[in-house]
Structure 1
Amino acid sequence: MLPWKRVLRPLAALLLTGALVSVPAAAAQAAAAPSSGWNDYSCKPSATHPRPVVLVHGTFGNSVDNWLGLAPYLTKRGYCVFSLDYGQLPGVPFFHGLGPIDKSAKQLDTFVDKVLAATGAAEADLVGHSQGGMMPRHYLKFLGGAAEVNALVGIAPDNHGTTLSGLTALLPFFPGAEHLLTTATPGLADQIAGSAFLNKLNEGGDTVPGVQYTVIATKHDQVVTPYRSQFLTGPNVRNVLLQDLCPVDLSEHVAIGLLDRIAFHEVANALDPARARPTTCASVFS
């Protein structure tokens, strides 16, 4: 068995962050085709929504599966919406976000440059789920992304890593497990609370000047734990707990990014704060 399979199989059920079911390549291309208004490089931002939105999938996600709910939600509201694949491993189709996160951030940098060149916009807004809400912070902090990005919206982002409800503390009791995890799927190892990657990312503060940050979390998150570790500290930060807006919202880690329209409503508010409307349980119908 290939080394990456030894890691992916036991961890997939715990770390699945957006790709519930992979789709065939033809269906994936059709879902993001220009006719849908998503990944349409002829799209020009309007005066109402002057910045393109780049969607950044989570671990085990991809540019289509993760956004079958949110991408149409935003395109129907007049946004130019784009999504990328990043963190691919050789021989692993559909399930991405597994490579070293610093290298994934470079892929995001390249993609944002491509989107800005196509749309003629000076800045983009980023919306990411799970790792996709945390990884862009490396781009903002170390790769000059703050000059190209107006806002980062993280949906259940693992900004300070995860303990997987304490399971990561068990790794030292399995000889070789940590080494195998780091070698085979470095993107997973980087997300464990206390990793060298996260220590560097958060050293000196969570944010950088000039970017607006929004974190949308659910207290039912079973992947990024404890859930309050998702929140950021610093200027220009808004931390949102879904259950403060709608106490009966039961979304967990996958659902909040895949289909929760209350979370989507908060994303829209973060992208256009001047036209923000209160989010309530009734927002599921908006």
Structure 2
Amino acid sequence: MQLTRLRNRLTRGTALAALPALLTAGLVTGAVATAAPASAAAPLPVIYNFPAAVVISLAHPNADPPGANDFSCRPSAAHPRPVVLVHGTLADKTNEWQALSPLLKNDGYCVFAPNIGGASPTDYLQGTRPIEESSAQLATFVDQVLAATGASKVDIVGHSQGGMLPRYYINNLGGEAKVNALIGLAPSNHGTTLLGLTKLADVFGLTGPIESICQSCAQQIAGSPFLTALNAGGGTRPGVRYTVIETRYDEIVTPYTSAFLPGPNVRNITLQDSCILDGSDHISVAYDRVALRHVQNALDPQHPRPLICVPVLPAIGG
């Protein structure tokens, strides 16, 4: 009896001592199988709510949006091009991309988002400097992304000024060789009348003071010298694929059709043509899951997903 107890203790002790080695060798299959799911990354939360994004950006100014700016990311065979997200006027990477950045990261893309066009890269209000200057900053950032990822081209998604500004980079700064597709969310491609307020500003002599504070704002007025030069000859390049996604209720880019581009390599989308429930405006379109499904399909046109139609609120999203 005593010999039996002793043998049992030795057997248990030997097994416990050997357990680390067995685990290392992968022989304890049940333990390994249980541990594997714990190491898998959980999907990032996607926030379809612009006010919530503003709160996040105020609490964490200059923070990278979820999933963005991992320079160790390597594009996959399924998604071989990094995606660069370009914010709009008076916005920044933090409050602009709390929805699209994690959405694309969850899809398996390498996602990058700079701050450009501010007095400094850490200022809360970005996109106010001359568009030529901001475009040069974008060019530098794209080169950094290509060098880090080993990709030959990027896809760009931009909102408002961020959907128009890359065209200057493409047309004037060598971007045509480095950009596969440009997708604009309510881009200011042909400028805006701001529902006639730009003419009123001229009457009261306010255009000059506005330009002194926000040079890019003046450049985005319909008929400005900058936009006239940018749109000469159509303003697109044959080596780039363009998609414009616009809402009929855009109150900033007016008329809303001024967002659209001509050309055989352009697809212009009005959101309400496929979803009458979409009430998004200029501000909320980057937090509109209807619009962002169009972005996903424009990035991967070979594998289109079913379109979405859900209620979307102006100034909020959904």
TM-score with structure 1 setting the length? 0.86
Alpha-carbon displacement from aligned partner over 1:224-282 (angstroms, at most 9, x marks no partner): 0000110000121000011011111101111111x111111100100000001231316
- The amino acid across from 2:260 in the alignment is F
In the alignment, which of 72, 80, 84 is matched to residue 50 of structure 1? Answer: 80
Aligned residues: 263
Partner of 2:212: 183
Map 1:1-286 → 2, pairs under 5 A: 21=54, 27-28=60-61, 31-32=64-65, 36-89=66-119, 93-175=123-205, 177-257=206-286, 259-281=287-309
Unaligned stretches of 5+ in structure 1? Answer: 1-16
Asked if structure 2 preserves the Cα contact closer than 8 Å seen for 1:37 and 1:75, the reply is yes
- The amino acid across from 1:146 in the alignment is E
1:28, CA displacement in angstroms? 4.1
1:29, CA displacement in angstroms? 5.5
Partner of 2:47: none
SS in 1 for 2:143: helix
CA distance in 2, matches of 1:253, 1:139: 23
Change in CA separation of 1:168 and 1:19 when aligned onto 2, cut-off 3 Å: farther
SS in 1 for 2:302: helix
1:30, CA displacement in angstroms? 5.2
Change in CA separation of 1:18 and 1:267 when aligned onto 2, cut-off 3 Å: farther
Which structure's CA Rg is the greater one?
A: 2
1:181, CA displacement in angstroms? 2.0
CA distance in 1, matches of 2:146, 2:94: 20
CA distance in 1, matches of 2:249, 2:291: 14
Higher deviation after alignment, 64-73 or 85-94: 85-94
CA distance in 1, matches of 2:163, 2:270: 15
CA distance in 1, matches of 2:62, 2:237: 35
CA distance in 2, matches of 1:110, 1:195: 26
Higher deviation after alignment, 204-213 or 134-143: 204-213
1:63, CA displacement in angstroms? 1.2
Asked if structure 1 preserves the Cα contact closer than 8 Å seen for 2:277 and 2:311, the reply is no
RMSD: 2.3
Change in CA separation of 1:228 and 1:189 when aligned onto 2, cut-off 3 Å: same
CA distance in 1, matches of 2:127, 2:121: 14
Higher deviation after alignment, 81-90 or 111-120: 81-90
CA distance in 1, matches of 2:210, 2:61: 29
State, as a whole percentage, how many aligned pairs show the same letter: 53
Asked if structure 2 preserves the Cα contact closer than 8 Å seen for 1:52 and 1:81, the reply is yes
| Higher RCO by CA contacts (8 Å cutoff, separation 6 or greater) | 1
CA distance in 2, matches of 1:113, 1:76: 24
CA distance in 1, matches of 2:216, 2:182: 20
1:189, CA displacement in angstroms? 0.4
Asked if structure 2 preserves the Cα contact closer than 8 Å seen for 1:18 and 1:61, the reply is no
Change in CA separation of 1:151 and 1:283 when aligned onto 2, cut-off 3 Å: farther
- The amino acid across from 1:240 in the alignment is I
- The amino acid across from 2:239 in the alignment is G
TM-score with structure 2 setting the length? 0.78
CA distance in 2, matches of 1:120, 1:154: 25
